[in-house]
Amino acid sequence: MSEEKTEKKKKKEAEAVVNIYTSFNNTIVHVTDMSGRTITKVTGGMVTKHNRLKANPTIAMFIAKRIAENLKELKVKSLYFRIRAKTGNPAPGPGTHAIVKSLSREGFKILNILDSTRIARGGPKKKGGRRGRRP
């Protein structure tokens, strides 16, 4: 009977929110706790010195590895993902899937994946003047 009580009293595993912002030039991963305080933040420029590689899926795997080390120190087991692309882009950048896949392989439990890309409603005025483009 005492064994059953200890199982129920086990501490609930810690959760975190992984905010991934990917453009075609860079990848930024910002991990917060559930209240919004920063746990860790890693960007493509912190992993590589080449500008052209910052949005690469290979670099995204290294970003995920760094994040996994920091989260394992804090005993975080479950993750919520919030993926964001540049405003108006139909799809996130190339590193997004690599980060999600790498973190799931590291043993983290994925609770939710949410796309929080902003969508322009109306947007700025189109070029061409009042009467439009004429042939």
Residue 7: per-residue pLDDT: 54
The answer as to whether 6 is a domain residue is no
Number of domains making up the chain: 1
Q: Provide the residue-wise pLDDT of the chain in tens; the chain has 135 residues.
A: 555 555 555 667 789 999 999 999 999 999 999 999 999 999 999 999 999 999 999 999 999 999 999 999 999 999 999 999 998 888 998 999 999 999 999 999 999 999 999 988 887 888 888 888 888
The answer as to whether 129 is a domain residue is no
The answer as to whether 4 is a domain residue is no
Picking from 81, 60, 105, the residue whose alpha carbon sits closest to that of residue 18 is 81
* CATH number of residue 51's parent domain: 3.30.420.80
Residue with tokens 């004429």: 134
Domain region containing 100? 13-85+92-115
The answer as to whether 2 is a domain residue is no
Picking from 14, 133, 134, 2, the residue whose alpha carbon sits closest to that of residue 72 is 14
Q: State residue 2 phi and psi, 5-degree precision.
A: -65, -30
Residue 4: per-residue pLDDT: 57
H/E/C letters for each residue in 5-42? HHHHCCCCCEEEEEEEEECCCCEEEEEECCCCCEEEEE
Query: Residue 2 half-sphere exposure, CB side, CA atoms within 13 Å?
Result: 0
